[in-house]
Structure 1
Amino acid sequence: MTVRLTLVSPAMTAALREARFDDGGPVEAVAAGPLTLPAGVRVVGSPSGRCLATARALGLDPASVRAEPALAGCAMGRWRGRQLDELTAAEPESVAAWLADPAAAPHGGESLRELRARVAGWLDALEPGPVHAFAEPDVIRAAVTHALGAPDSAFWRLDVRPLHAVELSGRAGRWNVRLGAGVG
């Protein structure tokens, strides 16, 4: 049996607009219409406020969205809420290591390799059927990288825009990716 997973990125936030690591700030107004999901779709989401606020902005009852810890964004440690440009000026070696080495976590949080392993474990354990997930952009990049069997370096080549969806179908070991699905 097949898993049909739709991964939806959160609405725009000030942190995204300012190239800052997420700081839990509110989402901006959503222009998309209400989201209508067919009966039987499991709805899960990152425990982050912006993913739950995005579900609410799209007309879903937040109580119907089961928080899934595996969909939490990469733990950025002491870099949380800081701008990448600021960090590059203050800690050029640390930022360079983080961008070049997927096992590096100079910020004291989670490495990108750890993020990918966490997301891959969740993805490969999904029960068959339709799933709608509100997930952080880095989680979506990790899921697509895993689904394609791409190298870790592909993570940086994927752009996930606010309020856009990526669809994965298949099961552990065999995934198909559909890009550019509409939301709402």
Structure 2
Amino acid sequence: MPSTLSISTERIRTAVACVQGLLGVPRGSPMFKHALQAVAFLNKEKITAKVEHLKKTFSWSDAEVGIAVSKGPAVLSRTKESLQRRSEFLISELGLEPAYIAYRPALLTYSLEGRLRPRYYAMKFLKENGLLDHDRDFYNTVMVSEKVFVEKFICPHKDAAPHLADDYGAACRGEVPARFSFT
């Protein structure tokens, strides 16, 4: 992290103390350096405010915030608005449990409009039309690359749902095709 060379030794010590103490990411953890990078330019008050916002927005306990930050320190760099929109979508619309999200903080780093919503709409369409053989875990659906997602979930259904590829593409561009409007 070349940018940290411009930070004072005292600031680095404070950041390390926050990462270990306040956020609960152990120094030996593979995510320690990522957590350190996420808080290196923040003071303790800002870090505390971000932690409190995560707790409020996702109804997380201190332990769940610690889990989320230790697994995905990038959540600390998300804006309040971004986190709020993801919370509304993941918890209110999808019905995911807060603990589920805490253990899978990568969900909070993907584009809501470009990845999360389109994949949810496509999977919901497939399920409601009997084109999926069983329920799929949302996290596993989101984590695969775009190429794998299309090959696994869009292409196999081109005969049964010839419009699916176009509708999914439209959803990725921020549009909501009529076939993806669910009541």
Same fold (TM over 0.5): no
| Larger helix fraction of residues | 2
Q: Choose between structure 1 and 2: higher strand proportion.
A: 1
**Where on the TM-score scale, by shorter chain, does this alignment land: which range?**
under 0.3
